[in-house]
Amino acid sequence: MDFLDLAKSRYSERSFDQRPVEQEKLDKILEAGQVVPTACNYQPQKFYLIRSEEGLKKLRQVTPFHYNVPLMILVCYDARLVWRNPADRYYENYNSGEQDASIAAATMMYEAEELGIHSIWIRGFDSKNVVDTFDLPEYMIPVMMLGLGYPAKNSKAHAWHYKNRPIDELVEER
C-alpha cells in the first residue's frame, strides 16, 4: 500500500478484540521504533511492553484511556541519553527526548497498521503515577502509550478522524 493511503486509512482504535498480537508482528513493530532517526543518533527511546494480566491491571489504574487493549507499549525516553542544543536561546532547556520517542512511536504505529494491527496514541495519564506504578527509574520519562491489537467486530473510525483542517491553514510560506 502507498504510504499516504496507509496514513489516511489508519485511525485511533477504541474497540479491541482480545486476540494477542503475534510475536513476529510485535518484533517488526519494535524494530520500526528502533531504526528511526533520532537527534545525533543518541537513541534515547525505551519501550516497556504491558501485556501480562498484572501489567494490564496496573495500566487500568494509571489511565482511563486503556480501551481494554491486549498490548500497550509505554514509550519513554532516557533523560541521560538525550541530545541538548546549547545554541538554542529560546528553549534553553530543550532536549530531544520527547521528539525522538514520538518519532519512534509514530513509526511503530504505521508499521502496526501495515501489519493489520490497529493502534491508539494515548497521553491521558499522569507521568508521576506511571513512573511510580511501573517502578521506572527517575531518568526514564514517559512520553505516551501506544495501544495495539486487532479491531473488534464493531470497530469503526470516530467521526473526528474524517475532519482535517484545510492544507492552506497548515502551510505558510515565509
pLDDT tens digits along 23-66:
999 999 999 999 999 999 999 999 999 999 999 999 999 999 99
Q: What is the mean pLDDT of the chain?
A: 96
pLDDT tens digits along 129-166:
999 999 999 999 999 999 999 999 999 998 888 899 99
pLDDT tens digits along 64-103:
999 999 999 999 999 999 999 888 888 888 899 999 999 9
Rounded to 5°, angle at Cα 84 from 83 and 86: 145
Write down the domain spans for the chain.
Answer: 3-170
How far from the centroid of its chain's Cα atoms is residue 29's Cα? Answer: 11
CB 161 within 8 A of CB 9: no
The CATH code that applies to domain 3-170 is: 3.40.109.10
Per-residue pLDDT band for 19 (boundaries 50, 70, 90) equals: very high
